Structure 1
Amino acid sequence: MKEQLYTIPLNDAVNADDECPFCFIERSVEQDLLDFVLGSGSSYMEADIREMTDKAGFCRQHFQKMFDYGNTLGNAWILKTHYQKVIGEMKEEFARFKPAKTSLKDKLRKAVDANPIAAWIGKKESTCYICDHFADTYARYMDTFFYLWNQDSAFRQKIQEGKGFCLHHFGDLCQAADSKLSNSAKEDFYSVMFPLMERNMGRLSEDVAWMVEKFDYRNKDADWKNSRDAIQRGMQKLKGGYPADGPYAMSK
């Protein structure tokens, strides 16, 4: 099947021979978004971009990654106008706030209405400019995966012969399969995926087990086999991501 522009990143991820192609994509997309928000293109200086970042804000995890990225001026610009928006909203919330009147019966039944200030803060914490953009991109890659799975026999073969997926992204694949595949196609999909996951989870388990054995003095001269990086790959396979990665920093 001829490769299309929108299929290239997913094919690249599969060809990378990673423990999970969707982890590979997740890291790549997140780094691209950090570059967009804080990189040399100076998108943070654009009023329309900062209007969007002011509205969505950033989650704790991505604030940490933005700090690690290293653009002090960019982070300061983003925080400057975001603070102005948050303080404006906060004053409005405070102005219309009235403490809830609750009875002892309500407290015993734990039937107290949601505190409006807590609800406002909860809403602020439910959005993140980077998370939200990644979610949209990730959904398109999930669509592309099933398109290639159905249309490209070479892609399907690479998946069948590959290292499978981390459990986190495999769960997403299974959830998506329910709506993206016909009933007969689901049978075929799971007949491939279940043995693939069992085989590769077993492979990681063996790598970790051999690393433990290597600490036995009797095995000090034995071959490490595939266990030298078993810890980070084992962690990735269970939860996703790249535990051994350092901070992603701005190019100098």
Structure 2
Amino acid sequence: MKEQIHTIPISDAFDNAGECPFCYIEKRTEDHVMDFVLGHGASYMEADIRDMTDKEGFCRAHFKKMFDYGNSLGNAWILKTMYMLHIEEMDKEFKNFKPDSVQRSGLFKKANASSNSIVDWINKRESTCFICDSVNKTFNAYMKTFFTMYEKDPELKEKLKNTKGFCLDHLKVVLEGADTYLKGDKRKEFYDIVLPLMHDNMNRIYEDVAWFIEKYDYKNKDADWKNSKDAIQRGMQKLRGSDPSLPPHVLKK
């Protein structure tokens, strides 16, 4: 299959797959969005961009990553207009709020269900994140491209067979994608490749973690570490995605 601009990131990810090629894609995509929001292009100075970030806000995890990114002035500009909108909405909610209208409910009520309009407003505010939403949209497009390549490009299929599988988070997304984009024998073939791959590599990680522990037994102090020195971060990534040992993405000087 002839390489095109939208297929290059997929090929690149499978060439640098590590424990999960889609963790690689997700990280590269997130870094790109962070650069767009806070990088030298100064998107945060554009009124239409700040209008979007004001409305969608940012989740706790991405606020931390934005802080670590290092652009204090950019973060301050974003926070200033976000606060203006939040205070405007908050004052409106406070003004219209009637405590007597709130119905009592137990501690085990349905998630996000409330008759308290202020709580509803906060829940709505916490339900969106500009970076999460941008990454998800791009990632979903890459997933569709991956399955198109899988059907048409024998080289990618071979690369898949030689990977270490996926993290469990991305395995779920990949299997959902297979159910959506592949039919009949193609879908069966995909499952026949991926499920044994996951079985073997989950057991590989288990053995690495187990040997890491054994190395702390004085009887094994002179034994070889084998492949276990970085077993903790690889083990965490395999279960939940994203290599925790990676440094934060920061503003390039």
Same fold at TM > 0.5:
yes
Q: Could you tell me which residue of structure 1 aligns to residue 162 of structure 2?
A: 161
Question: Residue by residue, what CA displacement relative to the aligned partner does 1:99-137 show, whole Å, maximum 9, x if unpaired?
Answer: 344678x77997995211111111110111100101100
Three-state SS of the structure 2 residue aligned to 1:159 is helix
On the 8 A contact 2:97/2:118 being kept in 1, the answer is yes
Question: Residue by residue, what CA displacement relative to the aligned partner does 1:174-195 show, whole Å, maximum 9, x if unpaired?
Answer: 1222221113322111111110
Cα separation, 2, equivalents of 1:222 and 1:127: 50
On the 8 A contact 2:103/2:115 being kept in 1, the answer is no
Letter in 1 for 2:187: K
Match status 1:12 vs 2:12? yes
Alignment of 1:40-79 (within 5 A): 40-79=40-79
Cα separation, 1, equivalents of 2:28 and 2:5: 16
Cα separation, 2, equivalents of 1:108 and 1:17: 44
Letter in 1 for 2:92: E
Cα separation, 2, equivalents of 1:103 and 1:48: 39
Question: CA 1:230–1:62 in 2, change beyond 3 Å: closer, same or farther?
Answer: same
Q: Which TM-score applies when normalising by structure 1?
A: 0.93
Structure 2: tracts of 5 or more residues without a match: none
Moved over 4 A (4+): 106-113
Q: Could you tell me which residue of structure 2 aligns to residue 139 of structure 1?
A: 140
Q: Could you tell me which residue of structure 2 aligns to residue 198 of structure 1?
A: 199
Three-state SS of the structure 2 residue aligned to 1:58 is coil
Cα separation, 2, equivalents of 1:53 and 1:3: 34
Cα separation, 2, equivalents of 1:191 and 1:84: 54
Q: Could you tell me which residue of structure 2 aligns to residue 237 of structure 1?
A: 238
Q: Could you tell me which residue of structure 1 aligns to residue 212 of structure 2?
A: 211
Q: Which TM-score applies when normalising by structure 2?
A: 0.93
Question: CA 1:103–1:240 in 2, change beyond 3 Å: closer, same or farther?
Answer: closer
Question: Residue by residue, what CA displacement relative to the aligned partner does 1:114-170 show, whole Å, maximum 9, x if unpaired?
Answer: 211111111110111100101100100110111111111110111011110001100
On the 8 A contact 1:68/1:247 being kept in 2, the answer is yes
Residue 216 of structure 1 deviates from its aligned partner by 2.0
Cα separation, 2, equivalents of 1:194 and 1:66: 37
Match status 1:3 vs 2:3? yes
Structure 1: tracts of 5 or more residues without a match: none
Q: Size of the alignment, in residue pairs? A: 251
On the 8 A contact 1:22/1:169 being kept in 2, the answer is yes
Cα separation, 2, equivalents of 1:9 and 1:109: 44
On the 8 A contact 2:102/2:115 being kept in 1, the answer is no
Q: Could you tell me which residue of structure 2 aligns to residue 228 of structure 1?
A: 229
Three-state SS of the structure 2 residue aligned to 1:5 is coil
Letter in 1 for 2:175: C
Three-state SS of the structure 2 residue aligned to 1:145 is helix
Cα separation, 1, equivalents of 2:208 and 2:109: 49
